[in-house]
Amino acid sequence: IEYSKNIMLEMIEEAYSILNKFPDSKYKESLFDLLNYTIKRNI
């Protein structure tokens, strides 16, 4: 389970990095919210 959590956190960190390349928008904010929800739900 720890291995899976670590992989999830690495992937989420990569997603944050990719999203930060885009200009701010309500869509970008929604994707960040979805990532944060995923983290809270799974940890």
Three-state DSSP at 25 gives: coil
Cβ density class 1-39: b for 16+ within 10 Å, e for less: eeeeeeeeeeeeeeeeeeeeeeeeeeeeeebeeebeeee
Domain limits at 33? 2-42
Residue 21: is its pLDDT beyond 70? Answer: yes
Total-model pTM: 0.74
By CB neighbour count within 10 A (0-12 exposed, 13-18 middle, 19+ buried), where does 40 fall? Answer: exposed
Task: Give me the number of domains the chain comprises.
Answer: 1
Residue 5: is its pLDDT beyond 90? Answer: no
Residue 9: is its pLDDT beyond 90? Answer: no
Integer Cα distance of 26 and 41 in angstroms: 22
Mean residue pLDDT of the chain comes to 91
Per-residue pLDDT band at 30 (split at 50, 70, 90): very high
Per-residue pLDDT band at 1 (split at 50, 70, 90): confident
